[in-house]
A and B are shown apart, each in its own frame.
Chain A
Amino acid sequence: ARGRAVKDEL
Chain B
Amino acid sequence: MNVFRLLGDLSHLASILILLHKIQTTRSCRGISFKTQALYVVVFLTRYLDLFLGDWVSLYNTAMKLFFIGSSCYILYLMKLRFRPTHDPAIDTFRVEYLVGPSLILALIFNYKYTLVEILWAFSIYLEAVAIMPQLFMLQRTGEAETITTHYLAALGAYRGLYIPNWIYRYFSDGTVDPIAVIAGLVQTGLYLDFFYVYFTRVLQGQKFELPA
A10 to B163, CA, bound (A): 10
Give chain A nearest CB distance to B163 CB in angstroms.
Answer: 7
Majority SS at the chain B contact face: helix
Which residues from B are CB-within-8-Å of A1? 113
Q: Which chain B residues border A4 with CB–CB below 8 Å?
A: 112, 118, 121, 178
Q: Total A-B residue pairs with C-beta atoms closer than 8 Å?
A: 33
Contacts of B121 in A (CB 8 A): 4
Tell which of B61, B176, B177, B178 touches A10, judged by Cβ atoms closer than 8 Å: B61
Q: Is the CB of B170 within 8 A of A3?
A: no
Task: Determine which of B112, B113, B163 lies in contact with A9 in the assembled complex, contact meaning CB atoms within 8 Å.
Answer: B163
A5 in contact with B9 (CB, 8 Å): no
Number of residues on chain B facing chain A (CB within 8 A): 21
Interface size class of A (residues with CB under 8 A): 10 to 19
Q: Within 8 Å of chain A (Cβ to Cβ): is B12?
A: yes
Contact B58 A9 (CB under 8 A): no
Q: Is the CB of A6 within 8 A of B58?
A: no
Residues of A near B5 (CB, < 8 A) are 9
Question: Which residues of chain A come closer than 8 Å to B123, judged between CB atoms?
Answer: none
Cross-interface CB contact of B64 among A2, A6, A7, A10, cutoff 8 Å: A10
Within 8 A of A (CB), among B121-137: 121
Does B97 interact with chain A (Cβ within 8 Å)?
Answer: no
B57: interface (CB < 8 Å): yes
B181 within 8 A of A: yes
Closest 3 A/B residue pairs (Cβ): A5-B176, A6-B178, A8-B57
User: Which residues of A line the B interface, CB within 8 A?
Assistant: 1-10
